[in-house]
Amino acid sequence: MIQCKRVYEDAAENDGYRVLVDRLWPRGIKKSDLACDEWCKEVAPSTELRKAFHGQTLDFAHFSKAYRAELDKQTDEVKRLLHLSHQQTLTLLYGARDTQQNHALVLADYLRHITL
């Protein structure tokens, strides 16, 4: 199972393996205070793509398409995360305010539907 959760939410027992999938460390959180098993920057959107989306030069649909294209090039990390999700619950942690349109949701959907 793959789920997404904001880094500002408390960790739960059913979170399983918790992976921060942001390129930048979330504001206001000390590294020692975040309950996560790893920080996987490699699967985060590129700096250029992140800035275009947050600067509103890209809408969510175009951002999602471009981000999926970037993920297509990260096969080793994608395979590893997919394997983890088959072993236990995988919780993708993100810092974005928007809980309906963010890169972690795109990544989760990508992992659920990819065939390797």
What does the pLDDT look like over 102-112, one tens digit per residue?
999 999 999 99
CA distance 12 to 81: 20
Tell me the per-residue pLDDT of 56-86, one tens digit each, with 9 for 90 and over: 788 999 999 999 999 999 899 999 999 999 9
pLDDT at 4: 97
How far is the CA of 90 from the CAs of 28, 40, 60, 65, 66, in angstroms? 24, 13, 24, 23, 23
DSSP state of 20: E
Maximum distance among all Cα pairs of the chain, rounded to whole angstroms:
39
Integer Cα distance of 15 and 70 in angstroms: 26
The pTM assigned to this predicted structure is: 0.93
Q: For the chain, what percent of residues have pLDDT higher than 70? A: 98
Tokens representing 83 are 């394997």
